[in-house]
Amino acid sequence: MADTQQPSDIARETLRQLALRRTPPTPDNYRTLYHEIAGTAAAETFPERALKALSAGLPRATQEQMRFARQIDTAVGEGSWDAIKATLTELLNKTAAAPPNWSGLIRDLLSQYEARHAGTTPAKKREALEHVLAASGTPDILFTRLQSLVRNWAQGIAAEGALTDAAAPGAAAGGAPAADGRPISAELQELLAQLLVNTLSVLLGDTPELNKEAAGLAADIRAAATAEQIAAFTGRLKKFSYRLQFVAEDQAELRGALLHLLQLIIENISELVVDDRWLQGQVSVVRELVGQPLSLRQLDDVERRMKDLIYKQSNLKRNLSDAQERLKAMLASFVDRLADFASTTGEYHERIGVCADKISKSNDITELSDVLDVVMQETRTVQLAAQRSRDELLEMRARVQEAEQEVARLQDELAQTSEMVRHDTLTGALNRKGMDEAIEREVGRARRRNSAMCVAMLDIDNFKRINDSFGHDVGDQALVHLAQVVRETLRPQDTLARYGGEEFVIILADTALDDAVNAMVRVQRELTRKFFMHRNEKLLITFSCGVAELGAEEAPPGAIKRADQAMYLAKRAGKNRVVAA
């Protein structure tokens, strides 16, 4: 082989050898021959795309299957064959393990079914068993739920009858008698009805059948006046509770599957775009969201921030596409001009050939004069065409350079816009990611200087009422007003971050606890002095605040948690106040 050391030389030699050997230029053949020429060992590439497609098709019907699929996804994302091997080994070991002991479970089930348990009749046992059999979609789920049912029977299900057995003495007059003759409190009946109607109806929005049954149970408990009616209600409530448990398990599995699907989208979204930087900011935000316990406040905050960011990026992307289209049009014009120039020179060569024939056949000098005139005219025509093409090409080159500069500028602006996700686009304050970076810097500075540092957590009082009464746009304006007042009141070295929804975190550098409390009280006073105006109407905005001083060895999340707890103490104490942690 040729003595080639530079990668470009090796690549050139590889292409030459492929042609000489008449080997198909496939990626595998190129890789093998490249390493052969370079004298290096061919490294196996990790088939990430194929493994991700394989992982996406794995079953996820049970918790165990979902756990196994998540382990495979993580291993593929890390590009680790060792992790994939460990996961497959674990799966095979479990497969080789002893299968579920159905015979023992059935024996225990029959034994507990025939045994007598206080407060549990054979009819209730049969009803519970029928519900378990109907609601279990896979053998693994059925085995687990039957085990739980047998265990409950063995421990005594009389405790489930506490709704009727544990009625308080001295119940209010008008309460219905329980199954054992003791009265059940009318207040308890009403509380059960409210629980069924007001609370469970929200949780059962996706299951109309159970929602309707909850409303029926609420009506029955309100109307119950005899022991027989209470006993009938108790049986229906137990049946309902079994079905409710299975619905909760199904919803938990569905939530887990949706989160996993979202994680797959995040991991593969970079493959859907040409420039990975374009979605770097959005992917970072969604990854942070998925990695935390979900809440409506977090989702609302991210949705608001992402809408504005996506709108800005769509405009930049459109401008970038327009610049690229202009560049393509200029290149097409360049090709057309070359074709015209080639056509002109082709005609010139043909006519010069005709003139040459005439010169060779001429016998008179006057004939040569006519031929020379034609040659001069054609040469002049070609000269003018060449000069015109040169001028057009120079102009086109200048336009191409301008387009390239515009594309580069838009790409840089697009990348900078993606970095804006460290700031909240509504209020201009830092977001959670920006806050984490800022608090890390301030903690390092405080510990180097051995100085105090405090963290304040504030939450706008009655913010939901503002949204409900005036609309979300006014609520957004109130958030902007609060952020502006805080920035104007505090020092330049203090940092404001939007923690989520109507909650804000303030990092107070070089500040002791008492001084931090006084600073936040000063912000409260300034906020009451600078009214928030909506349609010439003054709206008073107040907030409750908790302040915590960072301990010597305390991590920042610990101080934020203590400030959050102090803030809730301020809420319970009457709102519009500052409490030190």
Angle at 96 between CA 90 and CA 102, to 5 degrees: 115
CA-wise closest residue to 570 among 455, 458, 482: 458
Residue 357 contacts residue 348 (beta carbons within 8 Å): no
Q: Are strands 578-580 and 543-549 parallel, antiparallel or unpaired?
A: parallel
Angstrom CA distances, 359 to 347, 371, 375, stand at: 18, 7, 11
Cα separation, 286 vs 306, in Å, equals 10
Cα separation, 546 vs 538, in Å, equals 26
Write the DSSP assignment of 370-413 as a string of letters.
Answer: HHHHHHHHHHHHHHHHHHHHHHHHHHHHHHHHHHHHHHHHHHHH
Point out which residues pair with 461 in neighbouring strands.
Answer: none
- 3-state DSSP: the chain helix, strand, coil percent, rounded to 5? 70, 5, 20
Element spanning 342, H or E? helix 296-361
To the query of whether residue 253 is one of the catalytic residues in this protein, the response is no
Long-range CB pairs of 81-84 (<8 Å, 24+ gap) are: 81/46, 84/51
Cα separation, 80 vs 312, in Å, equals 38
Virtual CA dihedral for 182, 188, 189, 192, nearest 10 degrees? -130
First to last CA, the chain: 75
Residue 500 contacts residue 298 (beta carbons within 8 Å): yes
Cα separation, 140 vs 62, in Å, equals 8
**Which residue reads 């069924």 in tokens?**
196
Q: Are strands 543-549 and 495-500 parallel, antiparallel or unpaired?
A: unpaired
41's tokens: 């060992």
121's tokens: 């009749």
The one catalytic residue in 13, 442, 502, 503 is 502
Residue 519 contacts residue 532 (beta carbons within 8 Å): no
Neighbours of 344 (CB within 10 A): 17
Catalytically active residues are 502
